[in-house]
Chains A and B, each alone.
Chain A
Amino acid sequence: MAPRYVGLAAAIALAASVATAALAQDAERKGIPAPPGHVFNTIISGYQFRSKETRALQDDDLENPGFLAVERAADAWKKAEGSEGKSCMSCHGQPETSMKGVGATMPKWDDKLKKPVNLEQRINICRVEHMKAEPWKFKSRELTDMTTFVKYQSHGMPVAVKTDGPMSPWFERGKQTYYTRYGQLDLACASCHERNNGKFMRADFLSQGQTNGFPTYRLRDQRVVPLHERFEGCMFDVRAEPFKPLSDEFLALELYVAWRGIGLPVETPSVRN
């Protein structure tokens, strides 16, 4: 594990230097062409907006601290829990095959619940209904680790959420939230991530606010952070009362924001400052 921490320390130290920001600015930001009718011409991952050091840390599987979460969850995958005495593996076997592509298509419509569910919710449904185990709390290390692990099985695959059929009212609801100004600072997601991406906002380059890297290892927090925690943070920072994690509002938002990044390769576990 030692090299991981050396790289990490270097990235933290460098994240604090202005030079790092200048490097990121100079770098050419590569993206993918958006499908017709999309809000962007070019869809760009948050990776492209980060410093050279942060990107290098993400690219190195041995140094990327997010892989610790993947490793922990690989063990949890095999561990029997709950009164049925089952593990994820009992039903799903090898994650590399059974979970391949699953994370890239979340959130997904759930016919039983008649609503979309995301990866965290899906995992807890299996724990409660199929394993008769306690659900993991949102933000718990266990849930975020497993979410990271399942999403990692889609690494490199394009984000491919479905937004039609029963999903379309949820898509519209998420879109509405995205363009609504909230908080004392009166800013919408779009104020920053659509109108001002690529610009410098004090210490940070604003990205398009894409979700293909989530859960993401944040250098600031020194842990893997789930998507709805990032949503909460962005709302909190404009002095708004955030919606609750895993609420219908954030589910709709997750669906809509995933569509804004349609086709981007899944990068989980990504590294961000």
Chain B
Amino acid sequence: MRRSLVAAFALCLSAGGVRAQEPAKLPAAEPIKLDVVNDSLPKSLTATPGNAEAGKKVFLTRTLGNCLACHQVTSLKSEEFHGEFGPSLDGVAGRYTEAQLRLIVADPKRVFTDTVMPAFFKNDGLSRVRPEFVGKSILTAAQVEDVIAFLKTLN
């Protein structure tokens, strides 16, 4: 039987990390600070550019981005179950700059007030976080950059 989507959210992050071997950029306990400029994040979160192929995996992996749980993407049609919470991401690269996409993924509440989309690069200001996730962001900086690289292919 298929597990429910939300059950999939529940798995431990370390279990399927695409780049689990990379150490996190920041010590877990320190709050992540974002250099927001005009509703965007112009500066890359890493020294190396993101990898679209790796980003696609992060996008699809239920314990990581799990983006398809809420979004639809035509080029990923072969994947089952596209969610309806958020808009289709087809052509999203044409709607936003890379810097805007970076902020949307890192902390979407700064762009869409009161959105249900989780912040993927934020590790404080949250309530009753399960102990194993305290002080950790859903994605690492490298994984965010990979997802951005993948989003840039959606034009």
Q: Which of B2, B70, B129 contacts A239 (CB 8 A)?
A: B129
The count of chain B contact residues (Cβ–Cβ below 8 Å) is: 32
Q: A184-B133, A187-B116, A241-B128 are in contact. Are A219 and B5 (CB under 8 A)?
A: no
The stretch of B27-35, B38-46, B77-85, B88-96 in contact with A is B77-85
B133 partner, pick from A16, A191, A237, A239, beta carbons under 8 A? A239
A185 to chain B, nearest CB (A): 5
**Chain B residues whose CB sits within 8 angstroms of the CB of A204 once the complex forms:** 4-6
Inter-chain contact A15/B9, CB cutoff 8 Å: no
Q: Is A202 in contact with B81, judged by CB distance below 8 angstroms?
A: yes
Known A-B contacts A183-B128, A185-B138, A195-B116; the reply to A202 vs B1 at CB < 8 A is no
Query: A234 on the interface (CB 8 Å rule)?
Result: yes
Q: Does A74 contact B (CB under 8 A)?
A: no
Is B52 part of the binding interface, using a Cβ–Cβ cutoff of 8 Å? Answer: no
Q: By the criterion CB–CB under 8 Å, are B129 and A220 in contact?
A: no
**Chain B, Cβ-Cβ closest to A238:** B9
How many residues on A have C-beta within 8 angstroms of the other chain's C-beta atoms? 34
Q: Is A138 part of the binding interface, using a Cβ–Cβ cutoff of 8 Å? A: no
Q: Chain B's interface: helix, strand, loop or mixed, by majority?
A: loop
Chain A residues near B128 (CB, 8 Å)? 182-183, 235, 240-241
In the bound complex, do residue A241 and residue B130 qualify as a contact, i.e. CB atoms below 8 Å apart?
yes
The complex places the Cα of A238 from the Cα of B118 at a distance, in Å, of: 10
Scan residues 2-35 of chain B and give those whose CB is less than 8 A from a CB of chain A.
2-10
Q: A18-B80, A239-B9, A240-B130 are in contact. Are A201 and B70 (CB under 8 A)?
A: yes
Whether A94 is near chain B, meaning CB under 8 Å from some CB there, is: no
Instruction: Please tell me if the beta carbons of B130 and A184 are within 8 angstroms of each other in the complex.
Output: yes
Knowing A186-B118, A200-B84, say if A16 contacts B1 (CB, 8 Å): yes
Name the contact of B127 in the complex, choosing from A183, A219, A237 (C-beta under 8 A): A183
Residue B68 CB within 8 A of the other chain: yes
Once the chains are docked, how many angstroms separate the CA of A121 from the CA of B133?
Answer: 32
A181→B130 CA distance, assembly (Å): 13
Q: Please pick, from A192, A199, A219, the residue contacting B84 in the complex, using a CB distance under 8 A.
A: A199
Of the A-B pairs whose beta carbons lie under 8 Å apart in the complex, a sample of 26, sorted by A's number, is A15-B2, A16-B2, A18-B80, A183-B126, A183-B133, A184-B118, A184-B136, A185-B9, A192-B116, A199-B83, A199-B85, A200-B81, A201-B69, A202-B4, A202-B66, A202-B68, A202-B82, A203-B5, A203-B81, A204-B4, A220-B1, A239-B9, A240-B127, A240-B128, A240-B129, A241-B128
